[in-house]
Amino acid sequence: MILCTLIGNPNVGQDIIFNKIARIQKNSDDEGSSKIEKQEGFIDNAIKIVAFPGIYSIDTDSKLEKIFNDYINGNKVDLIINVVNALNLERNLYLTMQLKKLNIPILVVLNKIDRAEKSGLYIDCEKLSEILGAKIISMNNITDKEVKKLKNCIKKDKFTVCKKIDDNTNNEKEIYSYIEKIMNLVAVKKVKNAISGTEKIDRFVLNKYLAYPIFIAIIYLIFKLVFSWIGTPLSEVFRSTLFNYVIPFLNKLLQNQSPWFKSLLVDGVVSGISSVLVFLPVILTLFALLSLLEDSGYMSRAAFLMDKIMSLSGVSGKSFIPMIIGFGCSVPALMAAKNIENKRERIITALVIPFMSCNAKLPVYMLFTTIFFPGKEIVILGLMYITGILMAFFYSFIFKLIFKEKEYEPYMEELPHYVMPDLKLLLMHTWEKGKGFLKKIGTIIFSMSIITWVLSNFNFSGMVNINYSFLASVGKFISPIFNPLGFGNWQNSVSLLTGLMGKEVIAGTLGVLYGGNLPSVIPHQFNLASALSFLIFVLLYTPCASSIITIKKEFGMKLTLVSIFYQFANAWIISFLFFHMGMRYFYGL
């Protein structure tokens, strides 16, 4: 099998090219993780392509460069596919020059050639190919025709090691001097008075007066689309279908079966899964909108805008992207955080990522906000997200004082050009992330629903009333911890315990313990203050088992124990305050 690597500078389009040419075998981890370390894919089961995140060189000590170098040194790579941005050819060729020294055949993909020409830069691809001694394929919009041409080239062409560089290029200065000579031979710059579309947009998006209002407006629009206009209405249709048609149909279908078997399927499996599944439209809508921001080029600008604000709490804009990934899932966010160069910032980011409202918490948020705060869902959901962000900033500042190390390092990254996202790729990314959520429902939620049903219906004497079951005994043992927070009955306590497997399991557990139609049952178990306290606790308490395992793997046991205990203690204190403030505000007590 032919082994190829795909590499380029950040934001040159290698991710899009990889997604279009390769059948993806696996992502490095959970949903949203595709850009953290590397991806693997195949072309016709004969060619394996390993795609790496963008890097600027291969001779520094950065983690991403080490990952690439370790792979090159540990595997027999047949071809390096080097994606180069024609708009920044001179800077991109620095990496190409270094790759040439690896004595591995190179295929250069010269991307965004049309935009380079629109900006007045004309490149002689044949001459560049002759100088580099490498085949060059130019691409414009990464169309299906261009993708087919690239795939055929990879499959059919025979590549040889690039000819050696004629000049002595042993350091950065010499390499750039040689690149300058190349540019003089292959590139012609014609002055164009027209301002590019990206520059026009950035005059507003990065304007010192408009940038933050625009950022806030975009976040607000996302909230409206997810929780008011698209996600929530679709979830209500989903809920209505499940509880008005599917579950009654199953009850009728199983009416002649033994009571315990019917209860296991309907009260256990179906109730547990449906309590989470109804929120799939909300989660898919959120994933689609976040992918839209990333693919369009706005996400990098958001990180740039947040850099100065985040510096006040001891981190930089480099931490912004892992935190944004944390709104999808903490596991890939933690993996992204380990690539931050500054050790102090890396540790701080890992410790505060679990405060982000990951998609697993959304089913619990939506369940309680629609029941207790109808018409004010966006306000309460906004409170959840803002509280998590404020907690992250607060503890970042505290850890900044504890972990004294280097001074603030400003966030620096090349801002990509704005592009119209490819609808096909956008839908593919959304579906891939949605599949991750469905996989959790089909594995973790399914398993936990069965386990919860068994433990809530049996004890050592056999099948018993739920209040005398194994689960009730465990719940009653730990419930005193939560009594001061307003939700200390054993069912709620157990749901938080099972929630350590995954926060979406909380809704599934409540569905099993209280019966399927939670909107009609939950109001009898909580009041407004205790519901708000419960939401805050779910937001802030100890992260799920997958996140804990990831923290242990990437950052060590000491940091894992710190994360577990400080987040539980913080969640308890903040929930206690919210409950008692809520009792005074809502009931005057």
Binding residues for Mg(2+): 19
194 burial (CB, 10 Å; 0-12 / 13-18 / 19+) is exposed
- How would you class 223 by CB atoms within 10 Å of its CB: exposed for 0-12, middle for 13-18, buried for 19 or more? buried
Q: Which positions make up the binding site?
A: 19, 111-114
Q: Quick one: CA dihedral 385, 386, 387, 391, positive or negative?
A: positive
Binding-site residue numbers for GTP are: 111-114
* Tokens coding 158: 């025979």
Nearest to 484 by CA among 381, 575, 400, 407: 575
Q: For the chain, state the CA radius of gyration.
A: 27
Which DSSP string corresponds to 421-489?
--HHHHHHHHHHHHHHHHHHIIIIIHHHHHHHHHHHHEETTEE--GGGSHHHHHHHHHGGGTGGGT--S
- Could you give the CA distance from residue 64 to residue 335 in angstroms, rounded to a whole number? 12
Q: How far is CA 162 from CA 3, 100, 101, 576, in A?
A: 17, 6, 9, 66
Q: Is 351 in contact with 559 (CB distance < 8 Å)?
A: yes
Distance CA 27, CA 432 (A): 10
Task: Answer whether 317's CB lies under 8 Å from 307's CB.
Answer: yes
Q: How many C-beta neighbours within 10 Å does residue 247 have?
A: 18
The angle at the Cα of 475, spanning 470 to 481, to the nearest 5 degrees, equals: 155
Contacts of 257 (CB under 8 A, 6+ apart): none
Cα torsion 41, 299, 416, 231: sign: positive
Give the 3-state secondary structure of residue 46. coil
The CA distance from 506 to 504, in Å, is: 5
Count of C-beta atoms within a 10 Å radius of residue 142 = 21
The H or E element that residue 111 is part of is: strand 106-111
Q: By C-alpha distance, which of 86, 76, 162 is closest to 118?
A: 86
Rounded to an integer, what distance in angstroms lies between the CA atom of residue 479 and that of residue 491? 9
The span from the CA of 581 to the CA of 560, in Å, is: 32
Report how far residue 312's alpha carbon sits from residue 324's, in angstroms, rounded to the nearest whole number: 18
> What residue has token string 């929530």?
232
